[in-house]
Amino acid sequence: MEEIVDFRDERDWEQFHNPKDLAISLSLEASELLENFQWKTSEQARDDKMDDITDELADVVIYALLLSNELEINLEQAIKEKIRKNRQKYPVNKSFGSSKKYTEL
Amino acid sequence: MEEIVDFRDERDWEQFHNPKDLAISLSLEASELLENFQWKTSEQARDDKMDDITDELADVVIYALLLSNELEINLEQAIKEKIRKNRQKYPVNKSFGSSKKYTEL
Amino acid sequence: MEEIVDFRDERDWEQFHNPKDLAISLSLEASELLENFQWKTSEQARDDKMDDITDELADVVIYALLLSNELEINLEQAIKEKIRKNRQKYPVNKSFGSSKKYTEL
Amino acid sequence: MEEIVDFRDERDWEQFHNPKDLAISLSLEASELLENFQWKTSEQARDDKMDDITDELADVVIYALLLSNELEINLEQAIKEKIRKNRQKYPVNKSFGSSKKYTEL
């Protein structure tokens, strides 16, 4: 996190990093990641595109960290809390081996 | 990470978690995060939607971790490497205080 | 539509155009469109990026048409039907001047 | 187009319809469309989700039309022009039967 914030501050970029544009950027990076799978199977993407996939996944997480920093979200706690909620939305006995959304279980 | 994988394995979901569908899911969660900013300023979103934003940001990072796990990407190393590349793409003297893309600098 | 299908068939691309990858492509193009607004106000994007916005919006609609063609969806009828549904979800007396989602009205 | 604008104006929604938020909305609708293919093959989506796919595709095109209206883009002309450009980027002899991006041809 420290290194990411240093990178940002050396360039005086915090002025652009309002949460709305950070959320847009996160979505754009997730799309660039997905682009590596366009017209491909998972295997083809893994064979041909691992370097790009690694770079884009890093970008996604960098923006997630910047956004959590900007909004003062404790990301580790948020993830633990979300897993707890997901355990309730997707009880094992209903969701075992099923890819259905919780609204359809 | 351990808790996320436990959650997945209790439900026998690894069968669905091919990298292509995980990349799709990551992109969908990033959109659900962005939805909290639709028709709003950053300030309005912060005032009205912090709980949803926190949940969706957690979902984004959960899928990023699942994808890194599936593709055996060392995420911390990937982020350090990406920052190193960004330092080259965006030298301080050219990008200070500018929101331009590196292709336009 | 005819011109789009000709373009596709001259290149023998229908083999790649399964609905799932077309839906991915549509989402990627919508992101590329959105990228023109990243770190910008609407006015700045309009001033600096109109050519790119026009091109990307065309791409979005081209993929929408290709997907409708592949799934034999009558797009004009689908739009009329969707507006009819939206009239019910967003009655004028509840939604006048409000940007709230129908689930919050 | 007329029907879409009527729907918007009856609800006094033009005030929210700045191009940046319309571009966000278009991207969100494209993601909702893609959600119908998450964890599914094209065939499974076609069998189980055609009504939702049709609705979401209509939403994508509705926002594309609203954005073109707001920015005074002639969509039909933009599409013709984009196909012309794509013919140059993807010459038949190089791109026949290939899913490669023009930058890799």
- Among D20, D32, D38, most B C-beta atoms within 10 A, so best to mutate, is D38
- Among C18, C22, C28, C39, most B C-beta atoms within 10 A, so best to mutate, is C39
- Among D15, D26, D90, D95, most C C-beta atoms within 10 A, so best to mutate, is D26
What angle do the packed helices A19-35 and C19-35 form, to 10 degrees?
Answer: 140
What is the percentage of chain C residues whose pLDDT exceeds 70?
100
Give ∠ CA C77-C80-C81 in degrees, rounded to 5. 85
Q: What's the pLDDT score for residue D89?
A: 93
Average pLDDT (C14-28) is 96
Search chain A and give the residue with CA nearest C25.
A38
Q: Does A13 touch chain C (CB under 8 A)?
A: no
| 8 Å CB contact of D11 and C85 | no
What is the percentage of chain B residues whose pLDDT exceeds 70?
100
Q: Please, what are the averages of pLDDT over each run of 10 residues along chain A (105 residues)?
A: 93 95 98 98 97 98 96 96 95 93 88
Contact D70, D19 (CB under 8 A): yes
Considering only the beta carbons, identify the residue of A27, A37, A97 that sits closest to B30.
A27
Q: Does C42 touch chain B (CB under 8 A)?
A: no
CA distance A64 to D81: 37
| Residues of chain D contacting C18 with CB distance shorter than 8 Å | 42
CA distance C102 to D9: 17
Average pLDDT (B44-73) is 97
pLDDT single digits (tens) B74-86: 999 999 999 999 9
Q: Give the model's confidence band at D104: pLDDT under 50 very low, under 70 low, under 90 confident, else very high.
A: confident
Q: Give the model's confidence band at C104: pLDDT under 50 very low, under 70 low, under 90 confident, else very high.
A: confident
Q: Does B98 touch chain C (CB under 8 A)?
A: no
- The token duo for C97 is 């001047």
pTM, whole model, 2 decimals? 0.95
List C-alpha distances in Å: D16 to A44, B27, B105, C35, D9.
43, 25, 33, 20, 11
- The token duo for A100 is 């259905």
Q: What's the pLDDT score for residue A1?
A: 87
The predicted complex's ipTM stands at: 0.94
Cα A79 off chain centre by? 12
- The token duo for B70 is 């599936």
- How many cross-chain Cβ pairs, A to B, lie less than 8 Å apart? 171
Cα D69 off chain centre by? 14
Considering only the beta carbons, identify the residue of A24, A40, A99 that sits closest to D39.
A99
| 8 Å CB contact of D82 and C12 | no
Q: Does D96 touch chain B (CB under 8 A)?
A: no
Considering only the beta carbons, identify the residue of B3, B18, B61 that sits closest to A64.
B61
